[in-house]
Amino acid sequence: MKRHDQHGTGHPHPSRIRPRTPRVVAAVLTLSAALATPLDPAPQQASAAEGDSVLTVAVAQSVDSLSPFLASRLLSTSIHRLTYEYLTNYDPKDAHAIPGLATKWESSPDKLTWTYTIRSDSKWSDGEQATAEDAAWTFNKMMTDDGAATANGSFVTNFKKVTAPSPTRLVIELKKPQATMTALDVPIVPKHVWEKVTDFSEFNNDTSFPVVGNGPFVLTGYKADSYVRLKANKNFWRGAPKFDELVFRYYKDQDAAVAALRKGEVSFVAGSPSLTPAQAASLKNEKNIHVNDAPGRRFYALATNPGAKAKNGRKFGDGHPSLLDERVRHALFMAVDRRTIIDKVFQGYAVEGQGYIPPRFSPYFWKPSAGQELAYDPAKAAQLLDQAGYRKNSAGKRLGEDGKPITYRVLCHATDPNDKAVGQYLEEWWGKLGIGVSLDCLDNVSDPWLAGTYDLAFDGWSVNPDPDFVLSIHTCAALPATPKDTGATDNFICDKRYDDLYARQLAEYDPAKRATIVKRMESRLYDLGYMNVMAYPNAVEAYRTDQIKSIRTMPSAAGNIYGQDGYWSWWSAVPADSGGSSGDSGSTGVVIGGAVGAVVLVGAGVFFAMRRRSTADDRE
């Protein structure tokens, strides 16, 4: 949320892509991806004390920012999950809201005032006590500073006032009811450190280590497009992680990451964020390697540039004008064979795409009706283009209003083999319609995306248990203030009917009624034709069983390890040479830091488990 989890999330999704993060929602400082393998052969060894257990995770995504106010990519937001506490967390079994920095919460009868009890046993890694004042300062900064609101501003736009009457009491007053109050997916930062920052839009939080935090790990080192190093926080209130150190190592070449796993140079491979079918198949029979294949929380889509614009009404970018015609967008939709993409590209490691929310989140999963569905129909697609006035010339090429053959520029991620494979199919399918395709595969898609200098782009987000964040990135409020600014938008969609529905779902506390509104939002997004959700990829990842004895998935029954709504996987992971039990020593579902049963949400009648993209640019 976020973004993005492709762009990214998977923007912040949640998760900046929060999933596949969009891939680039709010990157303020772009880091170039230049390395095929890390500069340091084994950077984690440089600081690990002799005898320390090190869990090394190979990732195919670079960090967009280490500032929790700016980050939107899945890797970046996952790191913030590990280093900062949020007010609430999500149970790994079923994602219901459980205590985080707040031990309990309650609302006033009118749901306009929320009071959180802040735990007294959480300390910042520099020894200072974490208090309600830290949370109040974090939210107030986001409410008053546009730079600080870059990644997660959608959570506080409805806030009226935030105060800390005591070190353990946080009070948030709202303008109107807001259903996400038990899922404010915002990292709480230490006021005494961050109040020294002068420009939140530029500060990347990567100049001084260790970084002060209060999560299960402490950020101790970082090298752009090479590694991120974290050490276990031995004083973490929920209990110290079992591994002494956690290292994320960047691989531009995913095959090189898989090779490193085989050699035992890394403990875990997440892919980008999933392994390809060929990579997964090659690892399944490898000794000491376990492949985790579970229903994913991402969607894989093709996003259309609807005409980039800012809140002040200024248009920018150079998206092809033909894409402003809904008939053209629908024609492109209907000329994409999703079944072929599932069978040939994902080779069965995905589910055919339909609505905006993956089927893993069943309350919000939506399917188009029979009469509404833009099913694969090349003949109907050609008719729509004819009706829109885009006729073929003698050479069979569709001509734009300028009389020139139409060729769409399609942004793709150079590190994602799925983008390239689907791109080749687009060349074939759209070529039969008389439309050309120019694949623009880049290490950094952020610059052209934010500038609106593209026609279509491969997109995707990691969706959270509650979809609020990934819904928010398509509102008019998410647009940049001016063409020079960076907004929280995915791809510049701004539709009044969609915005009205978004406001309604945000204020609706009844789960069934809220789900109905969310589905109407998905229906509207589908009809607009700006987002062609082609697939819901599985979470396919692998780890070495001779290095990792046990690790928690989310959901526990069948879920992902990398990019969770929480820190459960890396916090719970047990080293293979550990002498202790691997059972629930890292468990979180029933026993949490001692004992947490049900959390009672007074006044609201129900609690929601919500989180934004892990996201953002996971394709980012």
Give the end-to-end CA distance of the chain in Å, rounded to a whole number.
Answer: 12
Distance CA 333, CA 371 (A): 15
Q: What is the pLDDT of residue 11?
A: 33
Which structure tokens are listed for 210? Answer: 């260790």
Q: What is the pLDDT of residue 601?
A: 34
Does residue 514 register a pLDDT over 70? yes
Distance CA 141, CA 576 (A): 43
Residue 185: CB atoms within 10 Å: 34
- List the Cα angle 230/234/237 in 5-degree steps: 110
Residues 6+ apart with CB under 8 A from 501: 517, 520, 521, 524
- 617 versus 348: the higher-pLDDT residue is 348
3-state class (DSSP) for residue 520: helix
pLDDT digits (tens, 9 = 90+) for 370-388: 999 999 999 999 999 999 9
Q: What is the pLDDT of residue 272?
A: 72
Q: What is the pLDDT of residue 574?
A: 98
Task: Identify the bridge partners of residue 410 per DSSP, sorted by sequence position.
Answer: 439, 456
Q: Residues 479, 492: contact at Cβ < 8 Å? A: yes
Residue 586: CB atoms within 10 Å: 22
Does residue 547 register a pLDDT over 60? yes
Distance CA 206, CA 81 (A): 16
pLDDT digits (tens, 9 = 90+) for 563-620: 999 999 999 999 998 764 443 333 332 222 222 333 333 333 333 333 333 333 333 3
Averaged confidence pLDDT in the chain:
87
Phi and psi for 398 in degrees, rounded to 5? -70, 135
Q: Residues 21, 7: contact at Cβ < 8 Å? A: yes
Q: What is the pLDDT of residue 48?
A: 67
Does residue 42 register a pLDDT over 90? no
3-state class (DSSP) for residue 279: helix
pLDDT digits (tens, 9 = 90+) for 126-181: 999 999 999 999 999 999 999 999 999 989 999 999 999 999 999 999 999 999 99
pLDDT digits (tens, 9 = 90+) for 221-260: 999 999 999 999 999 999 999 999 999 999 988 899 999 9
Does residue 19 register a pLDDT over 70? no
pLDDT digits (tens, 9 = 90+) for 389-424: 999 999 999 999 999 999 999 999 988 889 999 999
Q: What is the pLDDT of residue 25?
A: 32
Using CB atoms within 10 Å of the CB of residue 43, give its burial: 0 to 12 exposed, 13 to 18 middle, 19+ buried.
buried
- Output the CA–CA distances (angstroms, integers) from residue 495 to 173, 366, 477, 521, in the order listed: 28, 20, 10, 11
Judged by average pLDDT, the poorest of 272-276, 281-285, 394-398, 413-417 is: 272-276
Share of the chain above pLDDT 70, in %: 85
Would residue 617 be called left, alpha or beta, if left means φ above 0 and alpha means ψ between -120 and 50 degrees? beta
Q: Residues 37, 53: contact at Cβ < 8 Å? A: no
pLDDT digits (tens, 9 = 90+) for 464-492: 888 999 999 999 999 999 998 888 899 99
Which pLDDT band holds residue 29 (cuts at 50, 70, 90)?
A: very low
The arithmetic mean of pLDDT across residues 540-566, rounded, is 95
Phi and psi for 330 in degrees, rounded to 5? -65, -35
Q: What's the CA dihedral at 399, 400, 406, 412 to 10 degrees? A: -160
Residues 6+ apart with CB under 8 A from 417: 254, 276
Q: Residues 452, 444: contact at Cβ < 8 Å? A: no
Q: Choose among 527, 467, 468: nearest CA to 493.
A: 527
Question: 537: which DSSP letter?
Answer: E
3-state class (DSSP) for residue 141: helix
Q: What is the pLDDT of residue 347?
A: 95
Distance CA 259, CA 261 (A): 5
Using CB atoms within 10 Å of the CB of residue 403, give its burial: 0 to 12 exposed, 13 to 18 middle, 19+ buried.
exposed
Judged by average pLDDT, the poorest of 45-49, 348-352, 403-407 is: 45-49
Which structure tokens are listed for 447? Answer: 């610059």
Which structure tokens are listed for 85? Answer: 């506490």
Q: Residues 144, 92: contact at Cβ < 8 Å? A: no
Does residue 33 register a pLDDT over 90? no
Which structure tokens are listed for 463? Answer: 């969706």
Phi and psi for 230 in degrees, rounded to 5? -135, 145
Q: What's the CA dihedral at 223, 224, 227, 233 to 10 degrees? A: 70
Residue 481: CB atoms within 10 Å: 13
Q: What is the pLDDT of residue 47?
A: 52
Task: Identify the bridge partners of residue 405 per DSSP, sorted by sequence position.
Answer: 399
Distance CA 462, CA 8 (A): 7
Question: 341: which DSSP letter?
Answer: I
